[in-house]
């Protein structure tokens, strides 16, 4: 795949040097005899099969009209996944993820997700991997093996646009880093043979598929860039021969490619509009935007792909926590502290030094028989924070737990704070794909009568604020409404020192400014002790506050 002047090109790797051009301006695709400029380098690719219009007419004349007419009424990708793979018929999420990932491989110059196929022996993981490889990048060999030498791995990646690794059981220590760099783009060099100062340069941003009985990786960085597909073992009465599957696949492949190019011709036109309308994106943002564009080209409703993708990412976070001993121990500690807390409305479930925190984790490890001899387990406090940093984001996404580390300059001690959103309204205020066009409405905002001095300004877990502010002007508009209509009561008294030490942040960058005006939400009483700007954000991000008619009427006035 290559991009030139805004259009996509796909090399058919045949002797005629033909290619497919997907035009953004015209919204169509066509077969070209050559590329406008040299775009491709070939290594071990095999010529790709695709039907031209003339070939379609020839097939009709040879009596295969029934096949063509039946496929016109169906989705060839759905036919492929339903009849030639082991994906469950009722697993719509996995089917759509594979479809979108497969089509995204034909989009150049973006980070593509790592596909991880896993399941018991006899679940046809290798077959699915082989077929996907031959749709995108037919080559010899189709399936690769990991070498112990990272240099060999780099060369394999450079020579295969879609590199597929079969039955991965052992992962060398360097593999996770190289895999992450491969999908986001990297350059490598090695000395040319028989030279002293000449380099062989590899630059690539390529696609990867791994399969294994277990999930091939446990590193959070890899799983953040992955989609995981589980396959069950095939029943003996449903098993088919390889020859039967391949004959059917090679007959269907030209129709699959035509369907992919037809889809991309629509998606490339609407992609920019989809990007403008999508507010919340995961780490693989480019892939997520293209996924939305692809499904909208198939006339799915807005946000459908993001919902499926976020669900899959939730399973990734669970996989990280279950496979990482320090993350698993923190999960058990959080469960224990949450149930034993004397004040269930409190967000701070643990506060102490790193040594105290490590002692707690070692106690949990003993109770739950966690292997503390693992290399991932910190042997002393010097490694504790480093190990925690690897799984911080996974714990936050899966358990709604934040781990803050700080250093108190007054007594030169380090502190670790576990913060969990334990309110009844937890999770209601995230900006989800299904509700990303929220309108702020401010009638129910009232200053907190108790006037607890809270100085936690942002990302405290109370506000529901995720940092995704779609319109920076909305805060100014809210301020004008406040001044014009006097929605809020008068300011609280001016104080020099915070009175409630539980709410005082020891972070030297967050200090009480003297004037403290705090509010609570009438609809969500647990959302309290919030500064004005933070409460505005809470109103913006909470779907429970939508009242578009009233808000629009106020704007008209």
Nearest Cα to 408, choosing from 509, 334, 302, 257?
509
Q: Give the pLDDT confidence score for residue 132 in this predicted structure.
A: 96
The sign one gets for the Cα dihedral 309, 311, 317, 319 is negative
Per-residue confidence (pLDDT) for residue 384, from 0 to 100? 87
Every domain range in the chain assigned CATH 3.40.50.300 = 2-318
pLDDT band at 300 (very low <50, low <70, confident <90, very high): very high
Query: What is the bridge-based pairing of β-strands 518-521 and 530-531?
Result: antiparallel
**Could you tell me if residue 305 is left (phi over 0), alpha (psi between -120 and 50 degrees) or otherwise beta?**
alpha
What contacts 413, CB < 8 A, 6 or more positions away? 353, 407
Strand partners, 415: 406
CA distance 185 to 378: 32
Strands 413-420 and 348-352 come out as: antiparallel
pLDDT of 66 reads: 53
Strand pairing partners for 552?
none
Q: Averaging pLDDT over each range in 242-251, 428-437, 456-465, 471-480, which range is the top one?
A: 242-251
476: pLDDT strictly greater than 50: no
Q: How far apart are CA 127 and CA 136, in angstroms?
A: 15
Pairing of strands 518-521, 445-447: antiparallel
Nearest-angstrom CA–CA distance, 346 and 356 = 20
Q: Contact, 46 vs 78, CB < 8 A?
A: no
- The pLDDT tens digits of the residues spanning 251-281 come to 899 999 999 999 999 999 999 999 998 888 8
Q: How confident is the model at residue 353 (pLDDT cuts 50, 70, 90)?
A: confident
CA–CA separation, 381 and 555 (whole Å): 56
Which residues are within 8 A (CB) of 453 and not within 5 positions of it... i.e. 6 or more apart? 495, 498, 499, 500, 503, 504, 512, 516, 518, 529
Q: What per-residue confidence (pLDDT) applies to 88? A: 83
Q: Which two tokens stand for residue 381?
A: 């406090």
* pLDDT of the residue at 352: 85
Measured from the Cβ of residue 248, the count of other Cβ atoms closer than 10 Å reads: 15
Write the burial class of residue 130 (CB in 10 Å: 0-12 exposed, 13-18 middle, 19+ buried): buried
CATH 3.90.1150.220 in the chain, residues? 324-420
**Number of other CB atoms surrounding residue 480 within 10 Å:** 10
**CATH class of segment(s) 2-318:** alpha beta
pLDDT in tens, 206-264: 999 999 888 878 788 888 889 999 898 888 888 888 899 999 999 899 999 999 999 99
Residues 343 and 369: beta-carbon distance below 8 Å:
no
Closest CA to 468 of 516, 442, 435: 435
Please name which of 101, 111, 156, 109 lies closest in space to residue 132, comparing C-alpha atoms.
Answer: 101
Total residue count of the chain as it appears in this document: 557
Give the position of tokens 């529901």: 464
How much is the average pLDDT of 380-401?
A: 84
Over residues 276-293, mean pLDDT: 90
Per residue in 138-161, pLDDT tens? Answer: 999 999 999 888 888 888 988 999
- Matching CATH number, 324-420, of 3.40.190.10, 2.40.30.170, 3.90.1150.220, 3.40.50.12160: 3.90.1150.220
Which pLDDT score, from 0 to 100, does residue 456 have? 34
| Residue 53, pLDDT score | 57
pLDDT cut 90: percent of the chain above it: 25
Is the pLDDT at 485 greater than 90? The verdict is no
Reading the block at residue 72, the tokens are 């016109």
């Amino acid at each position: 795949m290559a991009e030139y002047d805004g259009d996509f090109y796909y090399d058919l790797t045949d002797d005629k040097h033909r290619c497919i051009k997907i035009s953004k301006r015209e919204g169509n695709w066509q077969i070209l005899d050559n590329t406008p400029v040299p775009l491709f380098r070939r290594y071990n690719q095999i010529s790709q099969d695709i039907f031209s219009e003339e070939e379609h007419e020839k097939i009709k004349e040879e009596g295969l009209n029934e096949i063509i007419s039946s496929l016109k009424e169906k989705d060839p990708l759905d036919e492929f996944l339903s009849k030639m793979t082991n994906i469950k018929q009722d697993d719509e999420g996995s089917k759509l993820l594979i479809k979108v990932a497969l089509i995204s491989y034909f989009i150049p110059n973006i980070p593509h997700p790592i596909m991880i196929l896993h399941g018991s022996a006899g679940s046809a993981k290798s077959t699915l991997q082989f077929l996907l490889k031959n749709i995108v990048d037919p080559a010899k060999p189709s399936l690769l093996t990991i070498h112990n030498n990272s240099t060999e791995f780099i060369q394999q990646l450079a020579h295969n646009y879609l590199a597929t690794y079969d039955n991965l059981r052992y992962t060398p220590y360097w593999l996770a880093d190289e895999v992450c760099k491969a999908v986001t783009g990297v350059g490598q060099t090695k000395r040319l043979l028989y030279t002293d100062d000449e380099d062989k340069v590899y630059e690539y941003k390529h696609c990867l598929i791994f399969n294994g009985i277990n999930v091939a990786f446990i590193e959070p960085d890899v799983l953040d860039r992955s989609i995981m597909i589980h396959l069950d073992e095939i029943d003996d009465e449903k098993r088919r021969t390889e020859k039967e599957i391949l004959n059917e696949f090679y007959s269907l492949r030209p129709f699959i490619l035509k369907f992919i190019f037809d889809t991309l011709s629509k998606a490339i036109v609407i992609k920019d509009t989809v990007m403008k309308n999508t507010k919340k994106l995961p780490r693989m943002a480019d892939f997520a935007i293209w996924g939305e564009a692809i499904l909208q080209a198939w006339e799915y409703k807005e946000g459908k792909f993001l919902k499926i993708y976020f669900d899959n990412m939730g399973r990734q976070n669970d996989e990280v926590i279950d496979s990482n001993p320090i993350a698993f121990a923190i999960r058990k500690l959080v469960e224990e502290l949450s149930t034993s807390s004397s004040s269930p409305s409190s967000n701070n479930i643990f506060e102490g030094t790193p040594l105290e925190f490590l002692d707690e984790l070692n106690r949990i490890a003993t109770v739950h028989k966690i292997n503390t001899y693992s290399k991932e387990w910190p042997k002393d406090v010097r490694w504790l924070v480093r190990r925690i940093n690897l799984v911080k984001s996974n714990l936050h996404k899966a358990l709604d737990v934040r781990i803050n580390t700080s250093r108190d300059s007054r007594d030169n001690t380090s502190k670790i704070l576990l913060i969990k959103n334990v309110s009844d309204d937890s999770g209601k205020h995230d900006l989800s794909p299904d509700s990303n066009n929220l309108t702020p409405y401010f009638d129910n905002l009232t200053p907190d009568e108790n006037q607890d001095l809270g100085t936690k300004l942002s990302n405290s877990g109370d506000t529901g604020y995720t940092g995704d502010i779609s319109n920076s002007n909305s805060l100014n508009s809210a301020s004008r409404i406040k001044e014009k209509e006097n929605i809020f009561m008068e300011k609280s008294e001016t104080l020099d020192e915070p009175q409630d030490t539980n709410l005082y942040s020891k972070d030297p960058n967050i200090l009480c400014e003297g004037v403290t005006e705090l509010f609570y939400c009438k609809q969500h009483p647990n959302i309290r002790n919030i500064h004005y700007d933070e409460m505005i954000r809470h109103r913006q991000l909470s779907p429970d506050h939508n009242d578009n008619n009233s808000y629009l009427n106020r704007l008209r006035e």
